[in-house]
Amino acid sequence: DTEVTQTPKHLVMGMTNKKSLKCEQHMGHRAMYWYKQKAKKPPELMFVYSYEKLSINESVPSRFSPECPNSSLLNLHLHALQPEDSALYLCASSHENDRRPGNTIYFGEGSWLTVV
């Protein structure tokens, strides 16, 4: 079982829809992440929030909009997606980046997104 909870587990949306993916962790972690994973590929980093501020955006298209309402929550707002955006979206968290070894990343179970 993972301590990072993602909802919904499955989402089918049309290209004109607006939807959101949600993520929650209660481990006191101050870094939260969104990754995208296509079938048979490794996870690709999309966004990193550190202390509720966006610290990394890996040149993600603006149709993906992250939001960190508080230290426990992370959202990914989706609008005008394309079929090629269909993938597994993974949320993750870790202790604050204090440059010490041992900060592991805890992944949620993911949200399977299909864009039709």
Task: Please say which residue, 16 or 102, places its beta carbon nearer to other proteins.
Answer: 102
CA dihedral 66, 19, 22, 12 (to 10 degrees): -130
Among candidates 111, 115, 5, which has minimal Cα distance to 63?
Answer: 115
Across 52-74, b (16+ Cβ under 10 Å) vs e yields: eeeeeeeebeeebebebeebbeb
Pick 45 or 73: Cβ nearer other proteins: 45
Find the shortest distance in angstroms from Cβ 34 to other proteins.
13
CA atoms 52, 57, 58, 64: torsion sign:
positive
- Which residue, 15 or 54, is less far from other proteins as judged by CB? 54
| Nearest approach, Cβ of residue 74 and other proteins (Å) | 14
Tokens of 57: 């955006």
Residues found near other proteins in the complex (CB under 8 A): 2, 31, 40-45, 48, 50, 55-56, 88, 90, 94, 97-110
In terms of CB distance, is 80 or 88 closer to other proteins?
88
Give the strand pairing for 44-50 and 31-37: antiparallel
Name the minimum Å distance from CB 64 to other proteins.
Answer: 18
CB of 22 to other proteins, least distance (A): 16
